[in-house]
Amino acid sequence: MTAAPHTTDPHAADPHAIDPRTADPAAADPLLVRLGLLRDRVTELVGRRSATDPTAGDPLRGLYLSEEAVRHLLSTGRDDDRSAPPASDPPSGDEDDRPGLLAARLGLGTLDLAILLIALAPDIDRDFEPLYGYLNDDVGRRRATVGLAVELCGLPPHDVSARARFHPSAPLSVLGLMAVEEAERPFLSRSLRVPDRVVAHLLGDDTPDVRIAPYTRLLPADPARSALPVTGPPVARLAERLSAGRLTAYLREDRDGDALAYAVAALDAAGLEALHFAPGTGTGSDSESGPAGSGAGSTAPDPLPALLREARLRGCALVVAPLPQHPEPLVRALASADDVSVLLAGARPYDPQWCDSDPLVLDAPRQRAGDLDVWSAALGVPEAPETLGFDLARVVAPYRLGGERIRRTARAALDLAAFEGTPLSAGHLRLAARQQSASGLEQHARRIRPEVGWQDLVLPEQPLAQLHELALRARHRDRVLGDWRLSAGGGRGRGALALFAGDSGTGKTLSAEVVAAELGLDLYVVQLSSVVDKYIGETEKNLERIFAEADRTDAVLLFDEADAVFGKRSEVTSSNDRYANLESAYLLQRLESFDGIVLLTTNLRANIDEAFTRRLDLIVDFPFPDADQRLALWRHSLSHVPCADDVEPARCAKEFELSGGSIRSAVVTAAYAAAGRGSPVTTADLLAGARREYRKAGRLVLDDSGGW
């Protein structure tokens, strides 16, 4: 390092630099104005030091202590270097004055702001590095130190209040705006460092910290959207509390997404933006490397300080959803931040052990299925949904999606329509909604994407009418059971439950698929092999996983051959009977609290416990088809099959009493025979297929020679 510059011009090191003091005030950056004032102070201090320092011209100054330098230090003090603190308050009222706005928002004093500017100056202007190196008497110490900052602020190094500004509990450290490093050094020679994220923010860059960016997204304030996802007085009250000042609240939800939609609605109504932090999406919060350092083997960096700092820099709230499996460290850390509003969301009841200072605990209101105002606004037709060309209310009625998911569904549907080059249709909307309802049910059930409709059913008038009624109940359950208060109470859900009873092959599973297609939902067929367990209590656990996952999504849940798990309770004559009855009792309670759509099928209705049938909304009996219905079934199965001109399905319908499933199997057998010959299906092929189904069922049938 060379001698200190003997000049009072702080810009002498760079002749091309723009002096913020002489630039157009309207165009000058407030941060640069502040740094210009600081540069004046630094230059003045350097000038005074060099005027009396006999080693100022020594090119090796700062690398060693000469005898002359020691005598100078012993004969003089630094009291003459102290003067009034540097000016740190540029003209107020400037929206671009990020340092001033940050200080006002976080309650920083003039001294705190001056220290912050002194610490970050080398990160913005390299000219400060040699000047700081000279003032630190060490060419390698090119950052501000505690002693230099105190000196530049015109305070004595033994001033208790000045030294307190660098304590770990001081505002700059607690808020994450500045770090005092090198704790092994004497207090006055410890380095000051401002995090890069703080420097970037003060320069106008709002790119979030890389440590939290993968798990955080900005929820911008949109007051025009506030009434859409959730309506009613609870939103207005929560918005009023958020507007009044700092708030920590725990929002408990019945269904995934309800609390987040409630929080977003309240924030929109309050005109506040927020950061949505999802600690379960990769931060390791459920394992040993939790975000709050809850695990003994934690190796991942704790993202909470960066998260809180980001909220402070932006002046926004925090929304944490979903909570990790062990939320105690996270809740305690966020609740201790007394300058940031935090909204926590989860399905579990609040546990007082999570935090010493209890948050405000609220129940998030249920999301209404098929809120037409939300959907029409998301699709860009808030005033005229009828212009879409289909009945929007009918299409969206089964979906219980929150405001954000509705908007994502609308965007996906519009993208699908644009990709296909066609106007938006009900099919696009249903496909996009099913994608938003994807869940973990496939671990326990087989998913069926419905590809059938009412035209594929051949049923008598009564069961067909009951199936239409089931679809009607599924669409309007929120209005009837919720708005019209016809729920039975006692924690009962708003599910739609139905039993399909009839012989094998009479169309029970097909009818379930048709109902799912009518509602625009996927059908999940529960695999009994993944449910029933020989160990006591495991069957109930498996069923709870299925019901809990089904509660989170929009789907139709089908228990095929339901009498295996919904059978009658019996008198207790052994321990096996006792535990079997416990399983049935659990199912009875779980069905009552279920909010989804459950269909049960059975070939033996008498085996279903009467307590289950009482809780069912509908029991649909599927009769064995008569001759006319069998003929309709034969014709429907042959509708897409090439047939000979003289084919006679009426003969098969009259001679063979087969169910719909058996008729389809007979047609498949005939079709393979015809495909092997390379010719259309004939009556003989149909008769051969029908005889095959009779033999499979163990029934007598005449062969071609007239014998049985």
Which two tokens mark 140?
Answer: 């390698």
Over residues 375-394, the pLDDT tens digits come to: 888 898 887 888 898 999 89
Report phi then psi at 636, rounded to 5.
-65, -40
Taking the C-alpha atoms of residue 253 and residue 345, their distance in angstroms, rounded to an integer, is: 7
For residues 407 and 225, the model is more confident at 407
- Amino acid at the residue 335: A
Give the domain ranges of the chain.
30-202, 213-287+303-363, 372-436, 454-622, 627-696
Contacts of 153-156 spanning 24+ positions with Cβ under 8 A = 153/85, 153/86, 153/111, 153/114, 153/115, 153/118, 154/82, 154/83, 154/84, 154/85, 154/86, 155/82, 155/85, 156/79, 156/82
Taking the C-alpha atoms of residue 353 and residue 314, their distance in angstroms, rounded to an integer, is: 31
Taking the C-alpha atoms of residue 703 and residue 681, their distance in angstroms, rounded to an integer, is: 20
pLDDT at res. 673: 96
Q: For residue 658, what are the contacts with CB-CB under 8 A and spacing of at least 6?
A: 505, 630, 666, 690, 693, 694
Distances (CA, A) of 559 to 555, 566, 606: 13, 9, 17
Question: 1.20.140.10, 3.40.50.970, 1.40.20.10, 1.10.8.60: which CATH number matches 627-696?
Answer: 1.10.8.60
Q: What is the mean pLDDT of residues 89-99?
A: 64
For residues 159 and 527, the model is more confident at 159
What's the mean per-residue pLDDT of the chain? 82
Model confidence at 522, in pLDDT bands (50, 70, 90)?
A: very high
Q: How much of the chain, in percent, has pLDDT values that exceed 70?
A: 81
Q: For residue 48, what are the contacts with CB-CB under 8 A and spacing of at least 6?
A: 80, 81
What's the CATH number for 213-287+303-363?
3.40.50
Torsion of CA 576, 577, 578, 582, to 10 degrees: 100
Taking the C-alpha atoms of residue 686 and residue 648, their distance in angstroms, rounded to an integer, is: 9
Over residues 54-88, the pLDDT tens digits come to: 665 666 555 554 555 545 544 554 444 444 445 45
Over residues 409-453, the pLDDT tens digits come to: 999 999 999 999 999 999 999 999 988 876 678 877 899 999 999
Distances (CA, A) of 621 to 454, 500, 602, 629: 17, 6, 10, 15
Instruction: Indicate whether 639 pLDDT > 50.
Output: yes
Whether the CB-CB separation of 151 and 164 falls below 8 Å is answered with no
Q: Residue written as tokens 């990160």?
A: 123
- Give one DSSP letter per residue of 643-673, joined into a string: B-TT--HHHHHHH----HHHHHHHHHHHHHH
Instruction: Indicate whether 114 pLDDT > 70.
Output: yes
Total Cβ atoms within 10 A of residue 199: 15
SS3 350: coil
Of the candidates 263, 143, 402, the one whose C-alpha atom is nearest the C-alpha of residue 410 is 402
Taking the C-alpha atoms of residue 515 and residue 660, their distance in angstroms, rounded to an integer, is: 18
- Give one DSSP letter per residue of 142-194, joined into a string: -S-BHHHHHHHTT--TT-HHHHHTTSTTSHHHHTTS-EE--TTS-GGG-BEE-
Q: Residue written as tokens 């850390």?
A: 333
Instruction: Indicate whether 576 pLDDT > 60.
Output: no
Over residues 216-273, the pLDDT tens digits come to: 999 988 765 544 444 556 788 899 999 999 999 999 987 777 888 889 889 988 889 9
Report phi then psi at 170, rounded to 5.
-75, 155
Are domains 213-287+303-363 and 454-622 of this chain identical in fold?
Answer: yes
Which range has the worst mean pLDDT, 217-221, 282-286, 634-638? 282-286
Beta strands at 445-448 and 522-526: parallel, antiparallel or unpaired: antiparallel
Report angle CA 521, 414, 272 to the nearest 5 degrees. 95
Whether the CB-CB separation of 257 and 402 falls below 8 Å is answered with yes
Over residues 177-208, the pLDDT tens digits come to: 999 999 999 999 999 999 999 999 999 998 98
Taking the C-alpha atoms of residue 127 and residue 11, their distance in angstroms, rounded to an integer, is: 8
pLDDT at res. 288: 39
Instruction: Indicate whether 5 pLDDT > 50.
Output: no
Q: What is the mean pLDDT of residues 542-564?
A: 87
pLDDT at res. 188: 93
For residues 644 and 15, the model is more confident at 644
pLDDT at res. 579: 63
Instruction: Indicate whether 1 pLDDT > 60.
Output: no
Taking the C-alpha atoms of residue 650 and residue 632, their distance in angstroms, rounded to an integer, is: 9
Choose the most confident range, by mean pLDDT, from 43-57, 144-158, 296-310. Answer: 144-158
Query: Positive or negative CA dihedral for 633, 636, 640, 645?
Result: positive
Of the candidates 34, 39, 171, the one whose C-alpha atom is nearest the C-alpha of residue 92 is 34
Taking the C-alpha atoms of residue 79 and residue 39, their distance in angstroms, rounded to an integer, is: 20
Report phi then psi at 345, rounded to 5.
-130, 140
Instruction: Indicate whether 547 pLDDT > 70.
Output: yes
Tell me the whole-structure pTM to 2 decimals.
0.73
For residues 69 and 510, the model is more confident at 510
Whether the CB-CB separation of 457 and 636 falls below 8 Å is answered with no
SS3 275: strand
Whether the CB-CB separation of 631 and 639 falls below 8 Å is answered with no
CATH class of 454-622: alpha beta
Model confidence at 494, in pLDDT bands (50, 70, 90)?
A: confident
Over residues 321-360, the pLDDT tens digits come to: 989 888 999 999 999 888 999 999 998 999 999 988 899 9
SS3 383: coil
Q: For residue 80, what are the contacts with CB-CB under 8 A and spacing of at least 6?
A: 48
pLDDT at res. 21: 43
Using only the alpha carbons of the chain, give its radius of gyration. Answer: 37
Whether the CB-CB separation of 145 and 136 falls below 8 Å is answered with yes
Query: Positive or negative CA dihedral for 625, 629, 630, 636?
Result: negative
pLDDT at res. 652: 93
Whether the CB-CB separation of 520 and 433 falls below 8 Å is answered with yes
Q: Cβ-count burial of 92 within 10 angstroms (0-12 exposed, 13-18 middle, 19+ buried)?
A: exposed
Q: What is the mean pLDDT of residues 552-572?
A: 79
